[in-house]
Amino acid sequence: MSSYAPFRSSKHVSAFIVIRVFLVVGFMKLSIVIPCYNSGKKIASLLVSIFSQIVDSVEVVVVNDGSRDNTLETINNVLEQHGHLRDQVNVVTIENSGAGMARQVGLERAQGKYVFFCDSDDRISSDFIQPILSAIENTPDMIYFSSVVSDVDGNYIRDKIKVPQNMSLSDSSQAFNKLFSDFGYTSAVWSFVFNRSLAISSGASFINRPVHEDHMFTLTLLSNASRILFLGEVLYYYVDEEGSLTRSNKNLSYLKQRYEAYDETKGLVKTSFGSANFKLYRDWSIRSLLALVSDNKQLFYKFKNCSFLKSILINDGLVVCKVIVRKVLGF
């Protein structure tokens, strides 16, 4: 007895693909995007944590930014152990291009209505996905949540963002002020979940550079958000570990890119959130910059002679003096 596969015309095949894509995109509520570079020692535990709580309406997009270690092999090994999730995991490998490009590629590949960027160095709560999916039912533009800094063993070091209780705000300037005055602020895109349509409509994109690539992206989203949810539950653990670029000793290039990130965004902040909020942002930015210098003596001596110090003093000299005085006086 001969067997045969039913014939489909190209028109039928095309229609089938369109319908399937429509169903997948329409059904997928959340995309967890993980950019990674030389993360072979860390990526497995993060993926296992996500896979242990994943549901059908969640996908994972892993962007391997040209890793030179066993990152890709480790990812594939974990996927082999979780074969039933193959259709929910998209692994993309690109030439090493830096965090900005890796995040942008991940965003373009994401199919979920909402997107969350997770750093491969960090950990999420064992109950991360369900609270986020519940919050998504309220169709917010952005979802912030409490986060903490921990060591590699998971021990608490300090709060990163501390939301006292669940709340919803419809004023982006008020949300901005809450973050800077009460909850704690970071431009890092792991600190929130966002509606993908907001990124598209606002034109938010990442700056193509190794570090501080997300300042403009985060502030563009926030300035265009009309409904922001805050969750009190701690859902993210920023792992303070030496070795990664953003957590180890910094060089002048890192410092310069930090100031550039502030300089690029200050116009947007002043226009979108008002002069009072801009002062909060300006003080936070200069304080962060000086903290980087004061924490590294070698960087301090290089900083005194660097070319862009003149720009800082010309543009923000008074703020620098105010931050130093407050530091010296202890308030």
CATH superfamily of the 10-239 domain = Spore Coat Polysaccharide Biosynthesis Protein SpsA; Chain A (3.90.550.10)
Name the least confident of 7-11, 83-87, 244-248, 259-263: 7-11
Structure tokens given for 301: 């001596």
Q: Residue ranges per domain, the chain?
A: 10-239, 252-329
Q: How far apart are CA 115 and CA 217, in angstroms?
A: 13
Q: How far apart are CA 52 and CA 245, in angstroms?
A: 29
At residue 21, does pLDDT exceed 50? no
Long-range Cβ contacts of 51-54 (<8 Å, 24+ apart): 51/78, 51/82, 51/85, 52/126, 53/126, 53/127, 53/128, 53/129, 53/130, 54/85, 54/88, 54/129
Mean pLDDT computed over 270-284: 96
The model's pTM: 0.86
At residue 16, does pLDDT exceed 60? no
Under DSSP, is residue 142 helix (H, G, I), strand (E, B) or coil?
strand
C-alpha closest to that of 302 among 248, 250, 244 = 250
pLDDT tens by residue, 84-131: 999 999 999 999 999 999 999 999 999 999 999 999 999 999 999 999
Confidence of residue 325 (pLDDT cuts 50, 70, 90): low
At residue 283, does pLDDT exceed 60? yes
pLDDT tens by residue, 48-86: 999 999 999 999 999 999 999 999 999 999 999 999 999
Name the least confident of 100-109, 226-235, 304-313: 304-313
Residue with the two structure tokens 């989203």: 221
Mean pLDDT computed over 284-313: 70
At residue 11, does pLDDT exceed 60? no
- Between the CA of residue 302 and those of 118, 119, 265, 293, 305, what are the distances in Å? 33, 30, 25, 9, 6
Q: How far apart are CA 43 and CA 300, in angstroms?
A: 34
